[in-house]
Structure 1
């Protein structure tokens, strides 16, 4: 596995794009871990960081469009059944999926954008967007913006730590610490948003 990763990274920006696309299909490692690693080890300067951001954002969006197309082919009933049956294996709760599906019906641009900030949801929720036959172009633009902001945050965090990286255990520990802090922040912000939505409806 390590040899394969090294070989892919040896392809430069193409390799980074392949990893970002593959992570959208099978999130192992998760995108935040991958992006932190790329920012720490593959961005010697700001120009390289900008190029990494561009290719990983486009690849992430392409991965979302793959799931969007699959959802469009399945339709709402079969897409819901697919998530109900296999969602637990992808760490995607059906309740979360159905909640965002409802958000798509109310405001698909905002839901497409916000979905990119929720781990796991950001990978598979495009299935719902496709199943609901949402307009492809607005979905793609909102997803592109969300992916750019998500990728930029983790790439920048990795880039900021690049000069102090000396060994693999140190890299792994710092990645886990940053991931934990950011995931907690994202979940708190998301819970606060849903509470405001519920309060506004009440």
Structure 2
């Protein structure tokens, strides 16, 4: 298989680390496609699978800290203005950024953890965390846990599919569809919970 990703992977674990770091800065190709590919082609045994998990999680954390430091430097107002102007070019609509910022204000650790499991949002969650001056250690801890969950799921799926005659593009498309469905159901659940809470407050109020 040819292309930029296999070429970078020819550098071994250093290439894996670079892909995991850069993917957090600009998600092209999406992380679940990259992780699936790694699990299918770069993990001959469980030992290598664990090593790939450690390297990709480290890269993900460093990529998130890049956005955290940028958001902290910009501040809340300038970060939101930057997202409003350029967010569409990196798949980050202003509405998604504002929702993330609101979630941070309610529960920073939980928002950081949940955001790690949402495509696109997981790439740029550090901007909001840094702009709102959240403590870096809780942010890093939540990012670590979320990255372990996300990366291990797709690496393991790819590992289970290794050696088979699978078309990576078609498999990746099916995974994208599944992730989008899960994401939609997740946000619908949050919306239902919020509406139900407001209804209960209105009744008791």
* TM-score over 0.5 (shorter chain): yes
Q: Secondary structure at the match of 2:163?
A: helix
Alignment counterpart, residue 187 of structure 2, candidates 187, 190, 193 = 190
For 2:148 and 2:97, the matched residues in 1 are separated by: 22
Alignment of 1:52 with 2:49, yes or no, is no
**TM-score relative to the length of structure 1:** 0.92
Gapped runs of 5+ residues in structure 2? Answer: 200-205
For 1:94 and 1:83, the matched residues in 2 are separated by: 6
For 1:33 and 1:3, the matched residues in 2 are separated by: 14
Q: Secondary structure at the match of 2:24?
A: helix
Alignment of 1:103 with 2:103, yes or no, is yes
Q: Secondary structure at the match of 1:11?
A: coil
Kindly report which structure 2 residues correspond to 1:121-132, keeping only aligned pairs within 5 A, or say none: 121-132=121-132
Q: Give 1:165 deviation, angstroms.
A: 3.0
The answer to whether the Cα contact below 8 Å between 1:20 and 1:59 also exists between their aligned partners in 2 is yes
The answer to whether the Cα contact below 8 Å between 1:101 and 1:128 also exists between their aligned partners in 2 is yes
User: In the alignment, which residue of structure 1 is the partner of 2:202?
Assistant: none
For 2:195 and 2:82, the matched residues in 1 are separated by: 28
Matched residue count? 198
For 1:14 and 1:33, the matched residues in 2 are separated by: 19
The answer to whether the Cα contact below 8 Å between 1:37 and 1:175 also exists between their aligned partners in 2 is no
TM superposition outliers: structure 1 runs of 4+ over 6 Å: none
Task: Calculate the aligned-residue CA RMSD, in Å.
Answer: 1.5
The answer to whether the Cα contact below 8 Å between 1:8 and 1:16 also exists between their aligned partners in 2 is yes
Q: Give 1:94 deviation, angstroms.
A: 1.0
For 2:93 and 2:196, the matched residues in 1 are separated by: 23
Q: Secondary structure at the match of 1:44?
A: coil
Q: Give 1:179 deviation, angstroms.
A: 2.5
For 2:58 and 2:198, the matched residues in 1 are separated by: 36
**TM-score relative to the length of structure 2:** 0.91
Kindly report which structure 2 residues correspond to 1:157-172, keeping only aligned pairs within 5 A, or say none: 157-165=157-165, 170-172=167-169
After superposition, what is the alpha-carbon deviation per residue over 1:43-72, rounded to whole angstroms, capped at 9, x for unaligned?
A: 111111111111101110110000000000
After superposition, what is the alpha-carbon deviation per residue over 1:165-188, rounded to whole angstroms, capped at 9, x for unaligned?
A: 36xxx2221222123223312331
Kindly report which structure 2 residues correspond to 1:1-202, keeping only aligned pairs within 5 A, or say none: 2=2, 4-165=4-165, 170-202=167-199
